[in-house]
Amino acid sequence: MKSKIKIRKQIRDFEGSILLMEKTSLKDLEEMFLEIYEFNLQESIKREKQKNPELTRKEIIINMHKLHDELKNSGRNMHNESL
């Protein structure tokens, strides 16, 4: 447990995290990525719930997914227009 806390502190430092990633096994990197992703997802849902208390968690996640698709597709449209 102590080693995971130490690793998390190193991850916060960008240079340290790059060096750490090169020495860390793929399985551990995947676990860290998923842990960070899950934390950020929960924080985003919490912030959105504070802004719009009437929305359910499901509605918030659906809206996040819609926004993701819009952003993804807008990048493709910009790329196609420049061709």
pTM score of the predicted model: 0.59
Residue 21's pLDDT band (cuts 50, 70, 90): confident
pLDDT at residue number 66: 94
**Angle, helix 2-12 to helix 14-23, in steps of 10 degrees:** 130
pLDDT at residue number 77: 63
The residue assigned the tokens 């690793």 is 7
User: Could you tell me the residue ranges of all domains in the chain?
Assistant: 1-51, 56-83
Determine the Cα–Cα distance for residues 59 and 44; give it in Å rounded to an integer. Answer: 13
pLDDT at residue number 31: 87
At 39-74, the pLDDT tens digits run 999 999 999 999 999 999 999 999 999 998 998 888
pLDDT at residue number 83: 53
